[in-house]
Structure 1
Amino acid sequence: MSALKKLSLLAIMVLTLGLAFPVEGASDLPESHGFYEEITYLMDRDVLQGYPDGTMRPDAGVTRAEAAIMVGRLKEFDDTPRDTGFPDVPASHKASGFIAAAAEAQLIEGYPDGTYRPENTITRAEMAFILSRLFIVPFRADVSFTDVSPKMRVYEPVQKILAANITNGYPDKTFRPNATVTRGQFSAFLARGLEPEFKNDATIADSFLRDKTKTYVYDTEFGIERHTYNYVPSRNGLEMGFIWSIYREDGSLLTDSVEFETHEQYTFGLPYSESYTELEYPVEVGQAWYTDTLYAAPREITGTGVTVETAHQTFTNAVEVTVATNSEFMEDGHVYYMVEGFGEVKSVNLDGTVTKELIDVE
């Protein structure tokens, strides 16, 4: 074989293998890119691949075909080319196998006219539908985005991915459902649905949510509790997904809990059950809630920048919340303390009895 033919063959091999090009070799993906780690993570899982020319194009809009391919690889669907049922996606289309499989699994859907439009770039609303079907979310967050209303079909999917720390919208409190999703953004959304580490990035500024990669240990009036964020496929016949599980000192399960945050409030509760607001935003003295309801005692922020001692450490930036006595629901008056990045760190009855205290973070 001539040197020229060998060189041509090598070039063809490089272009072909470029479809699985290591992300570190992508010419347009520096480590400084905002979604470098998420893209690397998905590349390692063979969910995301580069282009034959060695680029990743993280800021290019992800097409509906590419979205189906990524979801299909994640779910390990059969990608054998076949009829899709969509008139604009013949069996000869490169993504026909994944599009057919994802449609059969009801993860994607076409348009009212029956088309799929594989080369259209996907919108944030369409992304919300896909991710809300792909990941189990046993709770919903109240959506307060100024451009998403309960009358919109996308409202419930946004509730789910907001509660699951897959998205938190934009700082101006918009979701922008019609905006295009880039390959980097879609990678981030998928990574957050898969790994607690990446969920930590989908928070508002000055968040009170706990670090999902750590275990929090509390001394409570009922004994030692260990709160661990983990993936639970199901519990008592109900699908669960990622949740905080609370274990007793002997390792037995006490219960499962959920914790989520919007631009308006921080909420704690139980999967498929009730939840309550622990903090209303903005955080300022005098902020009060549950003032016009009978099912919970009124709560009011009575201090900020408060110093509070716990067995774990002394915090100097705690928010003090005072809860009034509610005899109807047997809720004693007490004070609890919230800290950014730690959630509730201490609770004290009005008589001085400590009922909950953070003693360790592992």
Structure 2
Amino acid sequence: MKKLTGVLVVVLSLFLVLPVAAAAPDLPESHSFYEEITYLMEKGVITGYADGKVRPDAEVTRAQAAVMIGRLQGLDGTKRATPFRDVPASYYASGYIAEVAEAGYFMGYGNRTFLPEAPIIRGDMALIVERVFDLAFTFNQPFTDVPRNAYYAEAISKILAANITIGYPDNTFRPQQKVTRGQFSAFLARALEREFKNDATIARSYQKDKTKTYTYRMSDGTTAVHRFVDVPDRDGLTFGFMWIAEVDGEPYEYMEFENHQFFAFGYPYSEYDLALVYPVRVGQTFDTGLGDETILHTITGVNKTVKTPYKTFTNATEVTVQDGFKYYMAEGFATIKSINAQGRVESELVRVE
């Protein structure tokens, strides 16, 4: 077991708010972020320009992002004085900038400037999302271009844990890359709704569909029902979206962590268990032990046919633990079946709704 650290618009024109994204001539349904932008437009977070366009591929400035976050949080955007010498009270976004700064969502610079016309970069966007949504958990698997001491490193780790980002296939996050309106919309939509979190996955992901319910039958005859929900905070601890499994009426919480190197199950304010390494191929071994302990897992089969009460899978990946325990995983379903060393079925998928 590995350690999991517990901790996880834009208005250039104020003249027109489009009621639906379909009214925007530059936002076809084929656009990568059509659904996310539509969702935020319907919530009144994104507005269009005077010409009816939304310009989904235009870069987002710090002022525009402040307006977007201000509207999302229901802040008062009335123009006012700000603590920043480059944001006078007459500036169109002064009210929102003053409020998001007061709320701690945005920070200024040491010379009392806000740089309202500067574009947002991906690293700063991670910080904003982490602050706005009070993300609690980190997935400490660093990207190759995110130094551990970078000011945005922990925030990036948190949005990775929260299924808001996945990074790029070359294991980079590209924190200095400028953010477009569409990309900003995707980050916010994924933070808000489980449906959009399904988009923060790698190609051929093993994560379950967060909008569905999965039921497993256990070896003792009980059933385990898994749902992805927004878990209320309790005992002074922050939780948020995660899977809840109810086994014979007793719930426990966990998360699915995935990047381009591996898949793992994480536990709030505790640890995570490595379940699969990528690329998936027979003979791949990985250690899930903690400290001096070694627990070897080996991928012993791919495209296996595995029968479950739910259906027969023909694309299952078989993983064998050094003690003989076997489990099977399938793309889009995570674990579908597990069998102990004596051949007894310990759990198997029986229903997906």
Per the normalisation by structure 2, the TM-score is 0.92
Counterparts of 2:44 and 2:232, CA distance in 1: 23
Identify the residue that residue 8 of structure 2 maps to in structure 1.
none
Change (3 A) 1:16 1:349: closer
Identify the residue that residue 7 of structure 1 maps to in structure 2.
none
Identify the residue that residue 178 of structure 2 maps to in structure 1.
180
Superposed, which structure 2 residues align to 1:221-232 within 5 Å? 221=219, 223-232=222-231
Deviation at 1:197, TM superposition (A): 1.0
| Paired residue secondary structure (1:242) | strand
AA aligned opposite 1:279: L
Among candidates 321, 335, 348, match of residue 326 of structure 2: 335
- Residues 1:51 and 2:49 are matched in the alignment: yes
AA aligned opposite 1:100: A
Deviation at 1:111, TM superposition (A): 2.1
Answer yes or no: is the 8 Å Cα contact 2:18–2:52 preserved in 1. no
- Residues 1:356 and 2:347 are matched in the alignment: yes
Alignment gaps of 5+ in structure 1: 1-14, 326-332
Identify the residue that residue 32 of structure 1 maps to in structure 2.
30
| Paired residue secondary structure (2:260) | coil
Identify the residue that residue 266 of structure 1 maps to in structure 2.
263
- Residues 1:347 and 2:338 are matched in the alignment: yes
Deviation at 1:157, TM superposition (A): 0.6
Identify the residue that residue 123 of structure 2 maps to in structure 1.
125
Higher relative contact order (CA 8 A, sep 6+): 2
AA aligned opposite 1:345: I
Deviation at 1:143, TM superposition (A): 2.9
Change (3 A) 1:310 1:256: same
Identify the residue that residue 279 of structure 1 maps to in structure 2.
276
Which deviates more, 16-25 or 146-155?
16-25
Deviation at 1:33, TM superposition (A): 1.1
Counterparts of 2:137 and 2:330, CA distance in 1: 24
Aligned positions, number: 339
Answer yes or no: is the 8 Å Cα contact 1:306–1:316 preserved in 2. yes
Counterparts of 2:250 and 2:79, CA distance in 1: 46
Deviation at 1:17, TM superposition (A): 4.9
Superposed, which structure 2 residues align to 1:308-319 within 5 Å? 308-319=306-317
Answer yes or no: is the 8 Å Cα contact 2:288–2:297 preserved in 1. yes
| Paired residue secondary structure (2:238) | strand
AA aligned opposite 1:96: S
AA aligned opposite 1:271: P
Answer yes or no: is the 8 Å Cα contact 2:57–2:181 preserved in 1. yes
Counterparts of 2:126 and 2:313, CA distance in 1: 38
Deviation at 1:274, TM superposition (A): 1.3
Deviation at 1:291, TM superposition (A): 6.9
AA aligned opposite 2:41: M
Per the normalisation by structure 1, the TM-score is 0.89
Counterparts of 2:288 and 2:75, CA distance in 1: 51
Deviation at 1:98, TM superposition (A): 1.1
- Note the aligned Cα RMSD (angstroms): 1.7
Deviation at 1:67, TM superposition (A): 0.6
| Paired residue secondary structure (1:19) | coil
Counterparts of 2:250 and 2:326, CA distance in 1: 27
Sequence identity percentage: 52
User: Which structure has the greater CA radius of gyration?
Assistant: 1
Counterparts of 1:143 and 1:113, CA distance in 2: 34
Which deviates more, 289-298 or 35-44?
289-298
Change (3 A) 1:296 1:82: farther
Answer yes or no: is the 8 Å Cα contact 2:67–2:93 preserved in 1. yes
Among candidates 252, 256, 260, match of residue 255 of structure 1: 252
AA aligned opposite 2:91: H
- Residues 1:85 and 2:83 are matched in the alignment: yes
Change (3 A) 1:136 1:341: farther
Identify the residue that residue 42 of structure 1 maps to in structure 2.
40
